[in-house]
Structure 1
């Protein structure tokens, strides 16, 4: 620090590089992870602006620790001011019943297919894999994957065929 005060730029850069890991450890034990880097930067700026106040007759560590402690307290005060509001008890929560029901029905329908057909449909139609990737994963040929998808979907369509409801026209 004495060399940095005397204007030695390389000594100052070395000082900052050596101080940074200590500050990261100091703040990571005291602040939430999202605030650590900001606190380190605030302290580095304070170190830079207050470097002329360092007394070379005293130890550098306690001087740095005091700055870090003050910046930590400042950060705690700021966190208290911007504390999150409590959520109201009547907060609306989305209903996931239809998604769960759909997933359950889909699982049951796929269970009615031959395993190779169900696996081909899961990989290509649900997981989004290419036919070639699904073939590699299952050990089937790409042609067989396509056949299993076609036959499986045809079987599902036949299984899901519903008689038209009286009184409704197409498109209603």
Structure 2
């Protein structure tokens, strides 16, 4: 959702429109989950989201309709992120013993390397759309805004890019087999 649409929802909330306020909080929940998922351990993402939504609720009167909504939201989210990082630092940790099994990440590293090599064979627009939607979890609409491509073009680039990736993998398997 665009910054201006969120600003309009917040202005309606400040005027007492509870339906539009619930809609805003629902959309912010999705955005905040993505924001914190990239910055915090998975176990504390939802707590950070809830803390931020509470802070937004408590501070909604400070939003100035004459200013952009994004920086206001970003500042609150950033402060809650920093609070979570500080809390992580204070958490007691125990040293790991030598007898604890650790997972080998070699396969994941190899898979990521191969995926990057495959994506490098695509047209840049196709690779970017696939990365944003299929790897980073952005919606087609968000990807459209980020890349400047129409929604239809994003879908076409994903479809054609995945088809080319499939063909490349099949050709490699055939060559190896």
The TM-score normalised by the length of structure 1 is: 0.50
Structure possessing the higher relative contact order (Cα contacts under 8 Å, 6 or more residues apart): 2
Between the aligned partners of 1:73 and 1:43, the Cα distance in structure 2 is 11
- Which residue, out of 3, 14, 31, partners 1:5? 14
Residue of structure 1 aligned with 2:82, choices 73, 78, 87: 73
Q: Per-residue deviation at 1:82?
A: 0.4
More helix by share: 2
Aligned residues: 91
Where does residue 19 of structure 1 map in the other structure?
28
Deviation, 1:42, is: 0.3
Distance 1:19 1:87 in 2: 38
Question: Which secondary structure does the structure 2 equivalent of 1:85 belong to?
Answer: coil
Deviation at 1:88, TM superposition (A): 5.9
Alpha-carbon separation, structure 2, partners of 1:29 and 1:68: 13
Paired with 2:46 and 2:97, the residues of 1 have a C-alpha distance of 32
Counterpart CA distance in 2 for 1:14 and 1:80 is 34
**What residue ranges of structure 2 are gaps of 5+ in the alignment?**
1-9, 101-177
Residue 52 (1) aligns with residue 83 (2): no
> Which of 31, 34, 38 is the equivalent residue of 2:47?
38
Q: Secondary structure at the match of 2:71?
A: helix
SS of residue matched to 1:86: coil
TM-score, structure 2 as length reference: 0.49
Rounded Cα–Cα distance in structure 2 between residues aligned with 1:87 and 1:25: 30
